[in-house]
């Protein structure tokens, strides 16, 4: 039987499939079902500072779209979910925090740690809509947040990165130096949509698809072995095929949510069963046996991840060649 265990942000996990932040974890029975299905860990739904303060999204923070929002879950209930989950499950429970103010980030991070969370995922949802902000300003905002939280708590910290930094590699190094134990690639910013009849801006949630794995796949493969942090891949995992690709690139874990919202929590077991079949067929005895084997460091031609890959894609398209695989 293949060994599915892995280590993520210093935490020992029984499998490399982690449930990412989503509304299903608002119910304790769902967290229990996730554990029963084989999840290595659960990242709880995000706690927003606005949930606690019951105010507009960020009239005080420049560059963030704001507006009145009603939230059903405040910090008290969130912390209670952490406590109850820790009493009932044996897998790590990772909290997710989306703050606004310096005291919001640090105070709620401390509360989360005291409630018993095994780790904290920092969800910096920041749209630099102020065109006067420079790239250095945006980077500093992230670095300052990580440094503040690192100085406030002892549990491991993961940063959910966005893919829009001009130098993802350098930003990854800065985040690690600031105190991040793990990086989650990538945060999906939910862009607004327009109602062309009523002329209003609409919030519109589009669930991920397997086609969206390409960007995080690229950067995990590039970062693996070069930045001393744990790497998590999020976006696009709907089956074992996507999970395997992320692991080959160098991810310690793959995270899923959309497929659970679409097909239910039992999909976790199906994905892990297919992963075991793949590993037995190859054969790979453990995750470590193949993790990172397709990273830029380990492939025969590292330029495949750079400009030459562009030429190969065009050539393959013209010749009609397609990628193949067992899964």
Q: Residue 52: its pLDDT value, please?
A: 75
Distance CA 77, CA 327 (A): 41
Q: Residue 65: its pLDDT value, please?
A: 36
Cα-only R_g, the chain: 20
Q: Residue 283: CB partners within 8 Å, gap ≥ 6? A: 2
Q: What angle do CA 129, 206, 274 make, to 5 degrees?
A: 130
DSSP label of 24: G
Q: Which domains does the chain carry?
A: 6-297 (3.20.20.70)
The secondary element (H helix, E strand) that includes residue 111 is helix 102-115
This prediction has a pTM of 0.89
**Residue from 85, 150, 89, 157 nearest 115 by CA:** 85
Residues forming beta bridges with residue 88, ordered by sequence position: none
Q: Residue 309: its pLDDT value, please?
A: 65
**Residue from 118, 109, 115, 114 nearest 91 by CA:** 118
Phi-psi region of 67 (alpha: psi -120 to 50; beta: other; left: phi over 0): left
Q: Residue 72: its pLDDT value, please?
A: 46
Q: Is the Cα dihedral 270, 273, 279, 280 positive or negative? A: negative
Helix (H, G, I), strand (E, B) or coil at 34: helix
- Report how far apart the first and last C-alpha atoms of the chain are (Å, whole number): 18
Distance CA 222, CA 52 (A): 38
Distance CA 99, CA 58 (A): 10
Helix (H, G, I), strand (E, B) or coil at 56: coil
Distance CA 138, CA 246 (A): 28
Q: What b-and-e string marks burial along 133-154, b requiring 16 or more CB atoms within 10 Å of the CB? A: eeeeebbeebbebbebbbeebe
Q: Residue 133: its pLDDT value, please?
A: 92
Distance CA 188, CA 213 (A): 12
* Omega of the bond leading into 122 within 30 degrees of 0 (cis): no
Backbone angles phi, psi at 220, to 5 degrees: -65, -40
Q: Say if CB 56 and CB 112 are below 8 A apart.
A: no
Q: For each of the chain's 327 residues, which pLDDT tens digit applies?
A: 899 999 999 999 999 999 999 999 999 999 999 999 999 999 999 999 877 776 334 334 444 433 334 434 678 899 999 999 999 999 999 999 999 899 999 999 999 999 999 999 999 988 888 899 999 999 999 999 999 999 999 999 999 999 999 999 999 999 999 999 999 999 887 778 898 999 998 877 788 899 999 999 999 999 999 999 999 999 999 999 999 999 999 999 999 999 999 999 999 999 999 999 999 999 999 999 999 999 999 887 777 777 656 666 677 767 666 555 667
Residue with tokens 């229990």: 32
């Amino acid at each position: 039987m293949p060994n599915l265990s892995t280590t993520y942000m210093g935490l020992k996990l029984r499998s490399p499939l982690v449930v990412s932040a989503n509304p299903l974890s608002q119910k304790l029975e769902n967290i229990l079902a996730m554990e029963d299905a084989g999840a290595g860990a659960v990242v709880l739904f995000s706690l927003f500072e606005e949930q606690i303060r019951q105010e507009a999204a960020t009239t005080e923070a420049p560059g963030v779209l704001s507006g009145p929002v009603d939230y059903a879950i405040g910090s008290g209930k969130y912390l209670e979910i952490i406590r109850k989950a820790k009493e009932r499950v044996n897998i790590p429970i990772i909290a997710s925090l989306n703050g606004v103010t310096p005291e919001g980030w640090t105070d709620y991070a401390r509360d989360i740690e005291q409630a018993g969370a095994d780790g904290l995922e920092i969800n910096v949802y920041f749209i630099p809509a102020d065109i006067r902000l420079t790239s250095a300003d945006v980077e500093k905002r992230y670095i300052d947040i990580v440094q503040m939280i690192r100085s406030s708590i002892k549990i491991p910290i993961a940063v959910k990165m966005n893919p829009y930094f001009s130098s993802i590699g350098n930003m990854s190094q800065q985040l690690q130096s600031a105190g991040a134990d793990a990086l989650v690639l990538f945060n999906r910013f939910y862009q607004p949509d327009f109602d062309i009849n009523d002329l209003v801006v609409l919030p519109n949630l589009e669930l991920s698809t397997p086609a969206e794995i390409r960007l995080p796949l690229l950067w995990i493969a590039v970062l693996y072995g070069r930045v001393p942090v744990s790497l998590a891949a999020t976006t696009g995992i709907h089956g074992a095929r996507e999970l395997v690709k992320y692991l080959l690139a160098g991810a310690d874990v793959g995270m899923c949510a959309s497929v659970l919202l679409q097909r239910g929590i039992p999909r976790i077991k199906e994905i892990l069963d297919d992963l075991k079949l793949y590993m037995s067929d190859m054969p790979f005895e453990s995750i470590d046996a193949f993790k990172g084997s397709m990273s830029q460091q380990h492939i025969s031609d590292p330029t495949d991840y750079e400009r030459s890959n562009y030429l190969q894609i065009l050539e393959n398209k013209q010749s009609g060649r397609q990628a193949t695989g067992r899964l």
